[in-house]
Amino acid sequence: MSNKNLDLKEDIGSRGNKLAEQYIKEPVIYSLRGDFGQALLVTNVSVYVLKWGFQTGLTFGGRCTPYSYANITAVQVEKKLTSRFIEIITPGNQDKRLNYWASRGHTNNAIEAPNAVTFPSKSSDKFQAIVNFIQDKITHKQHVGDNRQTIDIADQLEKLALLKQKGILTQDEFDSQKKKLLNKD
């Protein structure tokens, strides 16, 4: 699926724009309007879920919930026969399963949840393109973390070798510490 043919920067309406201007300070790359006064905005730093209006449980005012890529563990699209929603999953909400049809006022109602945006089926390709973008950001974050861990282990091995060379560690002590660092117990 190519993003080139998809318009991933939609007008989110006056209330959505007002919320975005109030809370989002970095440039918005993608913006899609969902159902019932909801929008998903994406920057290079965070994903923002905007909610406003009666259907979302916010008759007066609105809510803008930011999700930094560093804190997102997963993002997924739930597709049912007549309903769709995108869900941002973090360590703080990963045990809560959302439901499009849950009763209003319940914490698992996707329309009211701060980490989900419901959308019409005709927008599925657009929302999936944004999910792919977010997943790439999450994957990049994990690889950067893996690289840092590899560098840390290499530094620690270097320090151990220096301690062994100076006679501070015996060969057995060096081998034992090396196994621990490399998780080869």
CATH code, domain carrying 128: 2.30.29.30
pLDDT at position 151, please? 56
The 74-79 sheet, strands edge to edge? 74-79, 84-89, 116-118
Same domain, 114 and 167: no
Same domain, 8 and 98: yes
Same domain, 84 and 56: yes
Q: Is the pLDDT of residue 185 over 50?
A: no
Taking all residues of the chain, what is their mean pLDDT, rounded to a whole number? 85
Same domain, 128 and 157: no
pLDDT at position 147, please? 52
Structural domain total, the chain: 2
Phi and psi based region of residue 52 (left: phi greater than 0; alpha: psi -120 to 50; beta: remaining)? beta
Q: Is the pLDDT of residue 36 over 60?
A: yes
Same domain, 83 and 115: yes
Same domain, 129 and 110: yes
pLDDT at position 81, please? 79
pLDDT at position 129, please? 92
Same domain, 66 and 80: yes
Alpha-carbon gap, residue 178 to 182, rounded angstroms:
6
The whole domain housing 89 covers 3-138
Same domain, 53 and 112: yes
Same domain, 64 and 154: no
Domain closes at, from 123, 138, 153: 138
Answer yes or no: are the C-beta atoms of 77 and 36 closer than 8 Å: no
Same domain, 117 and 40: yes
Alpha-carbon gap, residue 116 to 39, rounded angstroms:
9
Same domain, 29 and 69: yes
Same domain, 16 and 49: yes
Alpha-carbon gap, residue 185 to 181, rounded angstroms:
9
- Across residues 46-69, what is the average pLDDT? 91
Q: How confident is the model at residue 97 (pLDDT cuts 50, 70, 90)?
A: confident
Residue 116, classified by CB atoms within 10 Å of its CB into exposed (0-12), middle (13-18) or buried (19+), is buried
Beta bridge partners of 67: 47
- Across residues 104-114, what is the average pLDDT? 85
pTM of the entire predicted model:
0.72
pLDDT at position 1, please? 47
